[in-house]
Amino acid sequence: MHNSKRGWVFDRLERRLSSDGRTDEALMVHLCEGDDAALAELVRRYQNDLFRFCVHYLREADAARDMAQQTFVRVYTARERFDATRKFRPWVLCIARNLCLNELKRKKPVSMETLEEYASSARDETGEVMRFPGDGPDELLMADERRQLLKRALDSLGEEAREIVVLRYFERMSAREIGGIVGSTEGAVRTKLHRILAGLRERYSACKDEL
Amino acid sequence: MMDGACDRYRDDLMALLEGALDAEAESALLRHIEACPACRAEQAWLAAVGADLEAIGDAMVKEAPPIDVVDEVMAEVARLKAGAATSSPKVVPFETPARRLRPWAWVGAAAAAAAAVLVFWAAGFRITKTTDTVPGPTVVQAPGPQDEQRERTVAQVAQPAPERATAHEGDSTQPGSVDSDDLDRHRWGRTVPIETETTALAALTVDDVLAARRDAITDPGARGQLAQWASLTVEKARALAASDDAPLGAKVGAAQALPPEEAEPVLLAALAASPSDPYVRYKLAGAYAAHEDPESSAKAVEQLTILGEAAPDNALLQYQLAVELFGQGDVVGAMAALGQARELETATAYTGAASRRRVEALVASGMDPELAGILTALTAGAEQYTDLVALGQQLLGYGREQEELGDPELAQDIYESVYEMGTQVAAGASYSAEELAGLDLQQDAIEVLSGFFEFLQLPDSLGILTAQTNQLVSAFEAVGQFFEELDAYFAQQIERSFIGRIADAILNEGDLNLFDVLFGTGDTGADGATPADAPAAE
């Protein structure tokens, strides 16, 4: 986890260092004035962030690549509507999000049963929830199995619930940032997120009662 | 698992794991966690699941190599620019349908020669509608200054208030800026009271009202006068709301003239007394919605949900729910509400109930009951017309927002929902104002959809719109004929003793059913028994 977190921070740092010194918002202003090179710079800065973002939504690299590309085309066609007094990043993420949600509308939801499988795997022999310390080789193996179940469980969530989880844990966004993307408040995002995670717990309890 | 006593720590716990808790709250929470095994277990569980989820996200990204789409994006942009230089509609910069809107222009050049002006009298306000009859085949016209000019002449509501919501004439330049100031003024549930000239009102008689109604056929000023007489002043509404003696129905009627924050407690009290009264709950939801903050919006959603369960056949509640959910950013929920709405047959805005409460309020504030009845009957539906059209504009705005954010399919769904809403409102109408609102909603949707389909170069879809436009023109003509009959009826000297029956018929059955109720013929009774003679014939 720590390594990947460092990688995440590094990516952003690298993006900043490779920039031409202009802010994203200034680049948008220049784009509106006809400077296409400004768009190229924005693409360079954000293409992999957006690609990752779309991968997390769509779960397919090829579709995510297309979506990232389409997002930048939308940035260009909607450039006049960008408010330079606001931040570029949430705006472009909103565009990508909508494109992804549109794509996902065509897909059917997966069964909820996998959630229960994950919840069942997340308890120890005493029936208590495991803490997943996960350092030793055996535990790593167990963690891998557990994560496979969790991944399947994630796929079974409704898109709205999955989106919150994706933004919080995959994109490492704060509740405030997520609220800005999905049009909700910081508190409401935390409440929803807790409810989603608590759903796992409830299913776990139900399974335990059946034993 | 956290028990009920620990629920209050739930959000703090989530914030703690996010690293977003301030120092003071963090130390308080940590002290609690140390002493509380349940919260300790909760924290461990959440942290473990969070770590697992982060690992899953990282693995997904690791499986996908970095991309470089700079050249592809710039090539696509170059293609768009090259297309724009040749004036192809496909490459017009992505703009809102409102900006490229040329209502009726696309129906063909020959249509201009056949333009018909329909002048409608609708329950106290007048609508001048310039339409083109629709010839075939459809020819999509190139934009031009004349089209822009014509856009401004279509579907304007003449004086007096309520004005036509004209948000589509504004330029929404930012994603998220769905509504113009115009639209805000017309937000549903928000009443714009008209100050009443109390001195003139004190001496007002039924004959004055009938004379004004006759004048109103040709004189907008007389129409304004009627609307003014039928409105409570804010001061009077406040006095009624605060009165211990006023009946609850009168207070609800007074709430129509109060700002939302003042209407709320009145409506809450009324709802406590009559929890199954759909109109009161509807107005309360509207008052909450008018605040436009998340908490109030949640309350509006709550009321609309309860009402939706009690009145599952009223599609309007689902459309209003959709607007609230869009406002909250819950696009999925909003689309679900729109989907549910579109499965229903009719939509109603409780015009009759609103009018009857208005009468109660006017009477409680000292107006003669007969006078209050006829005044309200003659102006019934004006507020609902404004609210309905504004609701449609809000939905169209959210459609434009989706379009701007890159989701034309979703936008089209929303636009088509507004058209559907128009047909449902017209289908469920008992009042001419409601029916007109339904037709206007259809027209608004067709205008936006025509620009949308034109932009996407979908001639088949444009062809369907042409057929819908033909139907709409026929419907407008039918309503226009009704208004002419209504005008002809009120142009005559009506028997004074008949006024109460007219008012009752309109307030209880709607003005569209007036002639049926009075004469059982569906017409003005002019063949054999004129309206003026009708009372004697009964």
Q: Between chains, do B74 and A36 touch, taking CB under 8 Å as contact?
A: yes
Task: Indicate the Cα dihedral angle A64, A66, A72, A73, nearest 10°.
Answer: -150
Q: Is the pLDDT of residue B90 over 70?
A: no
User: Measured between alpha carbons, how far is B376 from B354 in angstroms, rounded to an integer?
Assistant: 10
Q: Which residues of A touch B95 (CB under 8 A)?
A: 80
Which distant-in-sequence residues (6+ apart) come within 8 Å of B23 by Cβ? none
**3-state SS class at A129:** strand
Is some CB atom of chain A closer than 8 A to the CB atom of B169? no
User: Please, which pLDDT band fits residue B3 given cuts at 50, 70 and 90?
Assistant: low
Q: Which of residues 81-140 of A touch B (CB under 8 A)?
A: 81-83, 91, 94-95, 98-99, 101-102, 105, 122, 128-132, 134
- Beta bridge pairs of residue B129: B118
User: Please, which pLDDT band fits residue B84 given cuts at 50, 70 and 90?
Assistant: low
User: Please, which pLDDT band fits residue A107 given cuts at 50, 70 and 90?
Assistant: low
User: Measured between alpha carbons, how far is B403 from B408 in angstroms, rounded to an integer?
Assistant: 5
Name the residue in chain B with its Cα closest to that of A161.
B332
Task: Indicate the Cα dihedral angle A146, A148, A149, A150, nearest 10°.
Answer: 80
Q: Which residues of A touch B173 (CB under 8 A)?
A: 80-81
Which distant-in-sequence residues (6+ apart) come within 8 Å of A194 by Cβ? B10, B11, B13, B14, B46
Q: Which residues of A touch B404 (CB under 8 A)?
A: 78, 81
Is some CB atom of chain A closer than 8 A to the CB atom of B203? no
DSSP A11-64: HHHHHHHTS-S--HHHHHHHHHTT-HHHHHHHHHHHHHHHHHHHHHHH--HHHH
Q: Is the pLDDT of residue B124 over 50?
A: no
Q: Which DSSP symbol is given to B111? A: G
Please name which of A104, A92, A80, A95 lies closest in space to residue A24, comparing C-alpha atoms.
A92
Q: Is the pLDDT of residue A5 over 50?
A: no
Name the residue in chain B with its Cα closest to that of A72.
B73
Is some CB atom of chain B closer than 8 A to the CB atom of A35? no
Domain positions in chain B: 4-55
Tokens of A143: 């963690």
User: Measured between alpha carbons, how far is A28 from A23 in angstroms, rounded to an integer?
Assistant: 9
Q: Is the pLDDT of residue A152 over 90?
A: no
What pLDDT is stored for residue A142 in this prediction? 63
User: Please, which pLDDT band fits residue A202 given cuts at 50, 70 and 90?
Assistant: low
- The string of pLDDT tens digits covering residues B370-411 is 999 999 999 888 888 888 988 999 999 999 888 888 888 899
Name the residue in chain A with its Cα closest to that of B67.
A48
Is some CB atom of chain B closer than 8 A to the CB atom of A147? yes
What pLDDT is stored for residue B422 in this prediction? 95
Percent of chain B past pLDDT 70, that is, above it, reads 73
Which distant-in-sequence residues (6+ apart) come within 8 Å of B43 by Cβ? B13, B16, B17, B33
- Beta bridge pairs of residue B334: none
Is some CB atom of chain B closer than 8 A to the CB atom of A40? yes
**Predicted TM-score (pTM) of this structure:** 0.50
Q: Which residues of A touch B10 (CB under 8 A)?
A: 190-191, 194
Q: Is the pLDDT of residue B273 over 60?
A: yes
Contact B454, B140 (CB under 8 A): yes
Contact B338, B394 (CB under 8 A): no
What pLDDT is stored for residue A203 in this prediction? 54
Q: Which of residues 176-195 of A touch B (CB under 8 A)?
A: 176, 182-185, 187-188, 190-191, 193-194
Q: Between chains, do B53 and A165 touch, taking CB under 8 Å as contact?
A: yes
- What average pLDDT does range B476-496 have in this prediction? 83
Interface test with B, best of A5, A41, A194 (most B CBs within 10 A): A194
- What average pLDDT does range B358-366 have in this prediction? 93
What pLDDT is stored for residue A207 in this prediction? 40
- The string of pLDDT tens digits covering residues A156-176 is 777 788 889 989 988 888 898
Please name which of B246, B247, B254 lies closest in space to residue B193, comparing C-alpha atoms.
B254
- Beta bridge pairs of residue B117: B130
User: What is the phi/psi pair of residue B314, to 5°?
Assistant: -90, 100
Among the partner residues B53, B74, B327, nearest to A169 by beta-carbon distance: B53
Lateral strand order in the sheet of B116-122? B116-122, B125-131, B156-157
What pLDDT is stored for residue B347 in this prediction? 95
Q: Is the pLDDT of residue B31 over 70?
A: yes
User: Please, which pLDDT band fits residue A201 given cuts at 50, 70 and 90?
Assistant: low
Q: Which residues of B touch A69 (CB under 8 A)?
A: 69, 72-73, 76
Task: Indicate the Cα dihedral angle B210, B213, B214, B217, nearest 10°.
Answer: -170
Q: Is the pLDDT of residue B484 over 80?
A: yes
Tokens of B445: 């949707």
Is some CB atom of chain A closer than 8 A to the CB atom of B70? yes
Please name which of A188, A189, A149, A187 lies closest in space to residue A171, comparing C-alpha atoms.
A189
Tokens of B502: 């007219």
User: What is the phi/psi pair of residue B157, to 5°?
Assistant: -90, 125
**Distance of residue A89 Cα from the nearest chain B Cα, in angstroms:** 14
**Distance of residue B462 Cα from the nearest chain A Cα, in angstroms:** 23
Tokens of B237: 């509404």
- Beta bridge pairs of residue B364: none
Q: Is the pLDDT of residue B285 over 90?
A: yes
User: Measured between alpha carbons, how far is A170 from A54 in angstroms, rounded to an integer?
Assistant: 11
- The string of pLDDT tens digits covering residues B250-270 is 999 999 999 899 999 999 999
Name the residue in chain A with its Cα closest to that of B44.
A131
Name the residue in chain B with its Cα closest to that of A49.
B66
Q: Which of residues 51-80 of A touch B (CB under 8 A)?
A: 51-52, 55-56, 59, 61, 64-65, 68-74, 76-78, 80
Q: Which of residues 283-322 of B touch A (CB under 8 A)?
A: 294
User: Measured between alpha carbons, how far is B304 from B279 in angstroms, rounded to an integer?
Assistant: 11
Q: Residue B492 burial by CB count (10 A; 0-12/13-18/19+): exposed, middle or buried?
A: middle
CB atoms within 10 A of CB B164: 19
Contact B219, B117 (CB under 8 A): no
Name the residue in chain A with its Cα closest to that of B68.
A47
Q: Longest Cα pair distance anywhere in chain A, in angstroms?
A: 67
Name the residue in chain A with its Cα closest to that of B332.
A160
Is some CB atom of chain A closer than 8 A to the CB atom of B175? yes
The phi-psi region of residue A82 (left if phi > 0; otherwise alpha if psi is between -120 and 50; otherwise beta) is beta
Q: Between chains, do A47 and B328 touch, taking CB under 8 Å as contact?
A: no
**Distance of residue B342 Cα from the nearest chain A Cα, in angstroms:** 18
Name the residue in chain B with its Cα closest to that of A189.
B11
What pLDDT is stored for residue B429 in this prediction? 92
Lowest mean pLDDT segment, chosen from A8-12, B143-147, B362-366: B143-147
Contact B290, B260 (CB under 8 A): yes
- What average pLDDT does range A123-146 have in this prediction? 49
Q: Is the pLDDT of residue A206 over 80?
A: no
Domains and CATH numbers, chain A: 2-104 (1.10.1740.10), 113-210 (1.10.10.10)
What pLDDT is stored for residue B526 in this prediction? 40
User: Please, which pLDDT band fits residue B528 given cuts at 50, 70 and 90?
Assistant: very low
Q: Where do runs of H (alpha helix) occur along B428-458?
A: 432-456
- Beta bridge pairs of residue B128: B119, B156
3-state helix, strand, coil in chain B (%, to 5): 70, 5, 30
Interface test with A, best of B69, B410, B456 (most A CBs within 10 A): B69
- What average pLDDT does range B48-61 have in this prediction? 83
**3-state SS class at B248:** helix
**How many degrees, rounded to 5, is the angle at CA B171 between CA B168 and CA B172?**
95
- What average pLDDT does range A37-53 have in this prediction? 91
Among the partner residues B55, B67, B173, nearest to A48 by beta-carbon distance: B67
Name the residue in chain B with its Cα closest to that of A80.
B173
